[in-house]
Amino acid sequence: MSDASLNTQSFTNEASFGDFFALLKPRVMSLVVFTAFVGLLVAPVSVHPIVGFASILFIAIGGGASGALNMWWEADIDAVMKRTQNRPIPSGKVTAGEAKAFGITLAVMAVVMLALAANMVAAGILAFTIFFYVVVYTMGLKRVTPQNIVIGGAAGAFPPMIGWAVATGGVSIESILMFSIIFMWTPPHFWSLALFMNDDYTKAGVPMLPVVHGRRATRAHILVYTLFLAPVAVGAAFTSIGGPVYLVASVLLNLWFITGAVKIWRREEDAAIADKYSAERKFFRVSLLYLFLHFGALLAEGVLRNFGMGGW
């Protein structure tokens, strides 16, 4: 670029390194890293630390790449939603084309490198995850059906399965259960968010459940999914990755979660508006803790097993 062309551009908005990093959705990536790490660590096969580290890194980069591609596709709705309007593309720091190129490059690199560092099964699941999140969820479902996050939630549920595949080179009941926990947890988690962020989704025209079927139906859906989630989460305690520590943690967490869901279900809309959705906001925070502690308990069981304790 010549100096003469500088004045013709809005270079004050030029992206910094941090803006490109923000495209990777670091907060989502932290969940991906944590669950993939747990999946890797609880597997019955040990992995060389450097191979393990590299694999987790490539899984995280793959997850980040899907985030960048999601932001590329959703730049129009991100711009109208309060929660997302400061993202790099709507704020004008990164162009949609740059985000697309960045995302595709990182996605290909992550899959190829995971295949080289670990194995083809792990790389295959990672590739499918990226495809599922970007094409099936972002491009296909999100703007079409209120069941968007139910099906799309699968994308966020794959990381522990990939971690498990890195170690074992395959898929088994344990990894499917870890997948199922996140898969069943996603709808109540996001619907509780949608309850108090409804206006944003309405403005953007995203057919979230409260937008299409109302808050009453959403409250009922949250309760039903929370009830279905409980046996899946507790059931994992009786597999080779579970144990007494996990069982106790899971039972308590599910009681806590179900209590919250019943409370949300019984609440009248007027009461919720009056206290600015405090119960829904609390349920959303509890849901984050719920998932973190479940995988934390699995991790604890894995560590204890290494010391000859844990498990049944």
The Cα angle at residue 101 between residues 100 and 107, in degrees rounded to 5: 90
Nearest distance from C-beta of residue 17 to another protein, angstroms:
3
- Tell me whether residue 94 or residue 279 sits nearer to another protein (CB atom): 94
CB 25 within 8 Å of CB 65: no
Nearest distance from C-beta of residue 26 to another protein, angstroms:
14
Nearest distance from C-beta of residue 20 to another protein, angstroms:
7
Binding site for another protein (CB under 8 A): 11-12, 14-18, 20-21, 48-51, 54, 57, 116-117
Nearest partner of 204 among 260, 253, 143, judged by Cα: 143
Nearest distance from C-beta of residue 5 to another protein, angstroms:
13
CB 154 within 8 Å of CB 110: no
- Tell me whether residue 49 or residue 308 sits nearer to another protein (CB atom): 49
- Tell me whether residue 52 or residue 188 sits nearer to another protein (CB atom): 52
CB 295 within 8 Å of CB 160: yes
Residue 24: left (phi > 0), alpha (psi -120 to 50), or beta? alpha
CB 226 within 8 Å of CB 188: yes
Backbone dihedral angles phi then psi of residue 196, each to the nearest 5 degrees: -100, -5
In angstroms, the CA 158 to CA 35 distance is 9
Backbone dihedral angles phi then psi of residue 23, each to the nearest 5 degrees: -65, -25
- Tell me whether residue 11 or residue 238 sits nearer to another protein (CB atom): 11
Nearest distance from C-beta of residue 160 to another protein, angstroms:
22
In angstroms, the CA 268 to CA 262 distance is 12
Nearest distance from C-beta of residue 115 to another protein, angstroms:
12
- Tell me whether residue 59 or residue 253 sits nearer to another protein (CB atom): 59
- Tell me whether residue 116 or residue 273 sits nearer to another protein (CB atom): 116
